Structure 1
Amino acid sequence: MNKISETAIIPASVKIGSFVIIEENVELAEGCTIGDYVLIQRGARVGAHTQVGTFSKIGENAVVGEHCSMTAYCEVRSNCVLGNRVTMGSRCTLSAGTIVEDDVIMKYSFVTTDTPVLSNNNQKLTGKLLSGSRFGANVVIMPGVTVGRNSEIGANSQVRVSVPDNEVWFGIPAKFYRKTVSE
């Protein structure tokens, strides 16, 4: 049994699993596939041909681009913006307001964190993942960190400072290893 708001915009080509909740003013584009037990909160938009895996959640006013793929247990919190062709392995979490550009790959258990800045009315700092960046499993991005274009972060790393474009980093804390190999 699904609970789908009457104000949601859902084309006939969208495939929806069982026990799905789709709240008010959600927009799903052509060809989306929504797995079982998914929650899509009010005002969220999901682009064409995107797949949302079982037990996943898309938060209020989040925007997910076209041809994205989320496997099981992914959470895209409120006001996140994901570009096109973003891939999320299982159990990935993007904190509220995270920006993810096009062609980003996150392996399982990836997390961006957020922390309130007490000196700035508790405004939260969130991460930014620039186009073409790639992340191994179990990576944690600390608040306010930007990972540059075409950069790679190794598995089990904690990224505490921003990473420039075209670099490979890994470790706890993550440190520069080398430049990415050009094709």
Structure 2
Amino acid sequence: MQLFYKIFFKLEKLINKERNRLLKVRLKQCGNNVRIDKNCHILVPERMEIGDNTSISSFTTIYATFGVKIGKNCLISSNCGISSYNHIQHSLNRPDDKDKDVQFSKPVDIGDNVWIGMNSCILPGVQIGNNSIIGSGSVVTKNVPSNEIWVGNPARFIKKLDL
């Protein structure tokens, strides 16, 4: 039985390595030493850029439809959502309004050395500055300047980082 588990885990590791390789080839840009855990979902990877030494943990979903850029040395914890796509709110007839969705969809730009805590959500058009921290469970609806900690729903400024 122990041999079975050794073979199983070795096979799983090979499958994940190949999955990551294929995903990285499809990305618009992918730096060195990028880690994307299994069970991550990236929609439209051709519109996504990831910098060196960045890690995206399990169960994170990224909608890169209108562009997502993640800088160097970033850590995105598990179960996060990042979306550059949104839709209009007051529509009774969705098919007729589908072209209007574009005006509510904007790229997401995450700077270098950013840490995004578990279960956080980054909405379309948000820019997160370098060296910032987004606390667990936060919903980021507006831009976050560099060197700041933001938490909550909606995310709000907590304190300036002294670097």
TM bracket (short chain): 0.7 to 0.9
Higher-Rg structure is: 2
What is the aligned residue count? 136
Match of 1:55 in 2: none
Identity of aligned residues (%): 22
State how far apart, in whole Å, the 2-side matches of 1:80 and 1:39 are: 15
Cα distance, 1:63 vs. partner? 2.6
The structure whose residues are more often helix, as a share, is 2
Aligned amino acid, residue 36 of structure 2: M
- Verify: 1:73 aligned to 2:39, yes or no: yes
Q: 1:40 to 1:122 in 2, by over 3 A?
A: farther
Deviations 1:58-95, CA, capped at 9 Å, x for gaps: xx554321101111211233210111111111111221
Match of 2:92 in 1: none
Match of 1:127 in 2: 108
Match of 1:10 in 2: none
Structure 2 gap segments, 5+ residues each: 1-12, 89-96
Higher relative contact order (CA closer than 8 Å, sequence separation 6+): 2
State how far apart, in whole Å, the 2-side matches of 1:122 and 1:111 are: 19
Structure 1 gap segments, 5+ residues each: 1-15, 21-32, 46-59
Aligned amino acid, residue 131 of structure 1: D
Q: SS in structure 2 opposite 1:99?
A: strand
TM-score (norm 1): 0.65
TM-score (norm 2): 0.73
Q: How does 1:96-175 map to 2 (within 5 A)?
A: 96=64, 97-113=67-83, 114-116=85-87, 122-123=101-102, 124-175=105-156
Cα distance, 1:122 vs. partner? 3.8
- Verify: 1:94 aligned to 2:78, yes or no: no
